Amino acid sequence: MFKKILISNRGEIAVRVIRACKEWGISTVAVHSDVDKESMHVRLADESICIGTHQPASSYLNIPAIMSAIELTNAEAVHPGYGFLSENANFAKILEENNIKFIGPSSKLIKMMGDKIQAKKIAKEYGLPVIEGSDGGVSDFQTAKKICNKIGFPILIKAAGGGGGKGMKIVFEDKNFEELFLTAKSEAKKYFGNDEVYIEKFFQNPRHIEVQVLSGKNRTVHLHERDCSVQRRHQKLIEETPSPVLNNKLRDDLFEKTVNMVSKIGYEGAGTVEFIYENGNFYFLEMNTRVQVEHPVTEMVTGIDIIKEQIWIAYTGDTALEQKDIQPRGHAIECRINAEDASRNFQPSPGVIGMCHQPSGFRTRVDGAIYQGYKVTPYYDSMVCKLICHGRNREEAIQRMLRSLDEFVIEGITTTIDLHKKLLNHKKFTQSDFNVTWLDKEKIV
């Protein structure tokens, strides 16, 4: 097994990876910005190195600084977590060229599946249904107009070079198309350095369903699906497994096609294939070539440590699991706890945490990096922790989550804990009568 792994990330995912490494008996190296020197991941790691200032470009996105940290500590491998450099093909390639193991797929596959257009073509080639839309990136208005006339409104415009809701516009009528097209192009250029967009059919009442996979040279297995349909402006808030709207016939078909594609492209590592689901049909959305924020719900129902499996695949090339080993039990729900004020349009709420009491108890898990006295800065993502609860069924998981949210105390900053209580008590949530547009259409706070 690896002797030493450097984690090129921060916050709760860095803590999560350090814990998995410790259970493998692997030494860990934390990297951090100047404002993160007192962070939990720095305290838990065996070694730590400051790699720059609070600006991500000078620290967590600073490839030369991270390469220097690897050289100074003699780390054999790098775990990128999620976000930052986790899907940066150039970073993975530099590591490959320096004989440092990137805990994830090859740079070639990251590049291939990170290109939304190419990924869509690959999915189609291997039998996954895809959303009707442009075959490539578009920057010319007349070309874009022809595509819209072909597929019909409403349509969705997305930045070809990135995600996270940046550069994403929904167009319901022809008269608004030119203005929103130009705005999307401008935002795509600003955030991703590429003004190309792609255009696809927009679904008005979709669910967001994703399939977790683990793949090695020997085989590909799936760890069933997650339902991530509680979203606000394309940002996930609550995730659960299994999806309450699928039947076994739909699942089996989805899993078979997903595993076939992932296996055929020669993927190695953990990955997630995301789909839009509406009116009994699935459509390929994208593949994330990294661990997901919401991976704990899958771990809770399968009993499989996805991070440890990632490390094993990176070291051996093979997955130790067979499909028969994966037998999900019960239902799990995750709530993302953000340092935001939901009553003020989700305004970020940085500050110093005062009293901090985290819930515990039967089948209750908190993945986080906060503690009393910890300073939540305004420089990074506002998520401070994740609360995950497991039950024998969905009803019990919801009640356990509500009990746990009641126990959770974080003083000094405003969080989304109260919002999650409202959502879990809402009739539409309890009856699973919602889709990804629910919170954007209905005022909950």
Tokens at residue 383, please?
């998520």
Choose the catalytic residue: 16, 207, 226, 290: 290
Tokens at residue 93, please?
């390639």
Which residues make beta-bridge pairs with 52?
Answer: 33
- What's the CA gap between 237 and 434, in Å, rounded? 13
How far, in whole angstroms, is CA 141 from its chain's centroid? 32
User: In the 3-class helix/strand/coil scheme, how is 300-344 assigned residue by residue?
Assistant: HHHCCCHHHHHHHHHHHCCCCCCHHHCCCCCEEEEEEEECEEHHH
Beta strand 351-352 with 375-376: parallel, antiparallel or unpaired? antiparallel
Of 129, 176, 124, 134, residue with least CA distance to 154: 176
- What's the CA gap between 51 and 142, in Å, rounded? 46
Q: Is 10 a catalytic residue?
A: no
Beta strand 77-79 with 4-7: parallel, antiparallel or unpaired? parallel
Tokens 């797929």 belong to 105
Torsion of CA 189, 195, 201, 203, to 10 degrees: 0
Of 296, 317, 214, residue with least CA distance to 258: 214
Contact 209, 227 (CB under 8 A): yes
Count of other CB atoms within 10 angstroms of residue 146? 12
Burial class (CB in 10 A: 0-12, 13-18, 19+), 274: middle
Contact 156, 200 (CB under 8 A): yes
Q: Which residues are catalytic?
A: 290
